Amino acid sequence: AWQQLNRPALAIHGEYDIQAINDKWTFEIVNAVNHAGKNLAERVVIPKTEHSLMNYPSREALMTAMSERQHSAVNPGEHYNNATLTVVLDWLAKHSKS
């Protein structure tokens, strides 16, 4: 399915994403979309960021927040990651038609 894509694609992965295990999936999507010389897909790994794209100073801080039930994707509070928004907005601007 990804090989048939003829539109730009952005694969975003958080460095601390324990749900996705690792960023291998981003390479697989980019390689599938970009097969046959297409250059439509790119990947970004956002540092210090977890699965729901919230920011934590370390993987240990994330794990502590999760075990103490201080982690909420619905209400990220101080963990809201502006870098994620910047990545997406920059990518959209790059791929918007003039």
Q: What is the pTM of this model?
A: 0.87
Q: Which of 25, 52, 53, 54 has the alpha carbon at shortest distance from 9?
A: 25
**DSSP-assigned beta bridge partners for residue 55:** 49
Beta strands in 16-74 (DSSP E): 41-46
| pLDDT over threshold 70, residue 18 | yes
String of b and e for 29-55 (b: at least 16 CB within 10 Å)? bbebbbeeeeeebbbbebebbbebbbb
Q: How many CB atoms lie within 10 A of CB 16?
A: 20
Q: Binning pLDDT at 50, 70 and 90, where does residue 21 land?
A: confident
- Are the CB atoms for 55 and 79 separated by under 8 Å? yes
